[in-house]
Structure 1
Amino acid sequence: MADVRGSPIIDHVPGAVAVPDDDPLGRAGVAWHYGAPLVEQRDALAGRGVVDLGHRRVLRLTGADRVDYVNTLFSQLVGEEPTEALNLDPQGRVLHHMAITPTAGALYIDAEPAGFGELRDYLTRMIFRFDVQVAETGHHVLGILGADPDRWPEGCLPHPRRAMSTLLAPEGGAIAAWDALVAGGARPTGLMAWEAERVAGLRPEVAADLDAKAIPHEVPGWIGAAVHLDKGCYRGQETVSRVHNLGRPPRTLVLLQLDGSAGERPAPGDPVLAGRRAVGRVGTVVDHHEYGPVALALVKRSAQTAAGLTAGGCAVAVDPATVFRDDSPKPGRVAVDRLRGR
């Protein structure tokens, strides 16, 4: 479990109900809600909500080679605009997902707390002859649900991302940034609302929603957003290229609708079952203000339209709007067939 990092905002905002200290995903020390989580989510999406994401950790990369350096390591082509990226193992399996915010003198990387130490150590270990310095910073991550502010708080680094933006408040500046956003019309909103919208938007977190076998193409939304298909070499690129050009992943990330009347709910890591056969894995489970109880899950493509699925003793169904079907001919397969005269 990641170390517990208390947030100054938890004692600054009345009515905060904190994530417990034993949270297995390292989110302790921030507010799960402020008394009415479903109302908070609805009102935030109708206008703007500010969420304490102070459990996330931030690295700063400086040095003349910082951009070239991360472009040799990660799946995305980093330039001048904020972006996302993945760190893969040599077999192309996902180890870390991160947000990258470039500035004139540095790159800022914020990532979920689970696995952060390994990411920091990997970045430090791979420097070799690059002119790069890696250091953890005291920046505090805040989330924005709904519309972006007309003006971001002074001294903060924004990372706009389609109705789920983040910003990095400087060390010691979390409360000032929070108060500026609230003064600008943002509603204090708990992490539960952020998680619910993350699930509805098929935005996984590695520790919560993926397993050790997950590859980037199993999360279709990452292709383009966090994976650049035409950049230079990086670890795990062979798998990304092979799946893109020749095949399709056997599983994809989907939204599960849960039976709200069931006495039990699945837990992260529970298998999705078709009868007695495991066809998937449950990730984050949360209540959404509009959809009710929902979950992310990696489910085999062959089972995504099946009836009678269960997980953790609860009847579940794959939301058909999240069933990803790209049956267009793969460029590599077309080339192979042409060579074989098919």
Structure 2
Amino acid sequence: MSDFFEALPGAVGSPPQHYGNPLGEQKILVDGSAVVDLGHRGIVTVSGSDRLTWLDSLTSQSIAGLQPGDSGETLQLDINGRLEYAIRVVDDGDTAWLLVDADEAAGLLAWLSKMRFMLRVELADRSADFATIGSLGTPAIEAAAPNGVPLVWHDPWSSVVRGGHQYAQVAEHPGAEWSYSETLVAPSALAAASALPVAGTLALDALRIAAWRPRLATEADEKTIPHELDWLRSAVHLTKGCYRGQETVAKVHNLGHPPRRLVMLHIDGSDGVLPAPGDPVAVHDASDIADAAIGTVTSSALHYELGPIALAVIKRGTEHDAELAILSDGIRIAAAQEVIVPRDAGAEANVPRLPRLGAVRR
């Protein structure tokens, strides 16, 4: 599916990471005119009359009421509330289209197949039938519409969804300007899509990082719970019915605190080194960053306005004003944190603490 884009002048990578000008490609993406080939995405379909109520019962978001053309985002969690799949959903009135990374499609399909029981749902992997094209705004591209409804997923990250919650304590969330969408395109329409202005995945990722937008493939690991990434903002409904992992979601949000927290890092670019995912992060005065690591870089990019930036997941207790340092290829790089998830995230129920048994009141 990516052949059209990989053959374009200057294309580097598969799918193309850039076309020779990553910073300039960010600008045309922001303008809403460019498209990004997302050949690394997978598509699972769920059809049948029970599809939405069934998916609603299994995952974190309230999606049973999606109308044809509506978009949503939902998380599939394990029994301990840890992230397994982040699913972008668009329904066309007949079929729910579940968009994930390509290497996640088979696993998600297998898990859903085990959970089907006697309900009226049919599952399929449609990854090979359509290309996924990313954009900001609404580019002039023909979306596939096998059931009469254009298959365009609009990212809900731009605001807190109904039933969700935002931990970031900012007057203006950078995600408010994130007008991202993914369009499914039939092979016959790809040639027209590749004639539009194009940008690579590096440009898209830089803008995603600046919008504080988490991604499962980069920000999550086997221990991640949604609270750590402020993902209750778009993908969790806190008052819907029970689903796997719901007890952890409720307990951490109402009574506890997530053990780690997402931050954005503004990186000192004087050495010309951009940290890589997995590089250790420590407080600035640590003598050995690897031994004193409080977290790791999850995504990094050179932003056309902000310069070198990154997302990182660090220990919750790290002070908000602590200067940080990153170790990348043996080079120590200074970084200033911008708080996304604060140290006091959670404990929203404000339940008063009971005195310990035998304690004397004063």
Smaller-chain TM-score range? 0.7 to 0.9
* Deviation string, structure 1 residues 80-131 (Cα, Å, up to 9, x no partner): 2201111111111111112100111000001012433211210111111111
Matches within 5 A, 1:1-342: 7-18=2-13, 29-78=14-63, 79-80=65-66, 81-137=70-126, 138-145=129-136, 147-149=137-139, 153=143, 155=145, 156-161=150-155, 162-179=178-195, 182=196, 187-220=197-230, 222-262=231-271, 264-274=273-283, 275=286, 276=288, 277-303=292-318, 304-312=320-328, 313-320=331-338, 322=340, 324=342, 330-331=348-349, 333-334=350-351
- Please, what is the CA RMSD of the aligned residues? 2.6
Q: Give the distance between the partners of 1:163 and 1:321, measured in 2 at CA.
A: 22
d(CA) in 2 for partners of 1:296, 1:193: 15
1:219 Cα deviation (Å)?
A: 1.1
TM-fit CA distance, 1:314: 3.2
In 1, the alpha carbon distance for the partners of 2:26 and 2:280 equals 29
Q: Which runs of 5+ in 1 are unaligned?
A: 1-5, 19-28
| Post-superposition offset of 1:193 | 0.5
1:236 and 1:97, CA in 2 relative to 1: closer, same or farther beyond 3 A?
same
**Partner amino acid, structure 2, of 1:57:** G
Partner amino acid, structure 2, of 1:334: V
Letter in 2 for 1:198: R
For 2:21 and 2:276, locate their aligned partners in 1 and report how far apart those are by CA, in whole Å: 23
For these two proteins, the number of residue pairs brought into alignment is 318
Cα 1:83–1:198, aligned 2, differ >3 Å: closer, same or farther? same
User: Secondary structure, in 3 states, of the residue corresponding to 2:263?
Assistant: strand
SS of 1:320's equivalent in the other structure is strand
Q: CA 1:71 to 1:335, structure 2 compared with 1: closer, same or farther past 3 Å?
A: farther
Q: Please name the residue that 2:159 is paired with.
A: none
SS at match of 2:34: strand
CA distance in 2, matches of 1:87, 1:269: 24
- Percentage identity across paired residues of the two chains: 37
Whole-Å Cα distance in 1 between the matches of residues 188 and 115 of structure 2?
31
CA distance in 2, matches of 1:124, 1:329: 36
1:215 to partner: Cα distance: 0.3
Q: 1:302-339 deviations in whole A, cap 9, x for unaligned?
A: 224212432323324243353536568621x426659x
**Counterpart contact for 2:228–2:341, Cα < 8 Å:** no
Question: Contact 1:152–1:158 at 8 Å: present in 2 too?
Answer: no
Q: How many Å apart are 1:217 and its aligned residue?
A: 0.3
| Consecutive unaligned residues in structure 2, runs of 5 or more | 156-177
Q: Is the 8 A contact 2:260 2:316 kept in 1?
A: yes
SS in structure 2 of the partner of residue 33 of structure 1: coil
Following the alignment from structure 2 to structure 1, what is the Cα–Cα distance between the partners of residues 191 and 242?
41
1:256–1:317 contact (8 Å) kept in structure 2: yes
> Any idea what the Cα deviations from partners look like across 1:237-272, whole Å, max 9, x if unmatched?
111000111012122111112221226443212221
AA at the equivalent of 2:321: T
Counterparts in 2 of 1:114 and 1:126: CA distance versus 1, 3 Å: same
- For residues 69 and 90 of structure 1, the distance between their equivalents in structure 2, rounded to whole angstroms, comes to 18
What is the TM-score with the length of structure 1 in the denominator?
0.84
Does structure 2 retain, via aligned residues, the 8 Å contact 1:86–1:95?
yes
Change (3 A) 1:210 1:314: farther
CA contact (8 A) 2:298 2:312 kept: yes
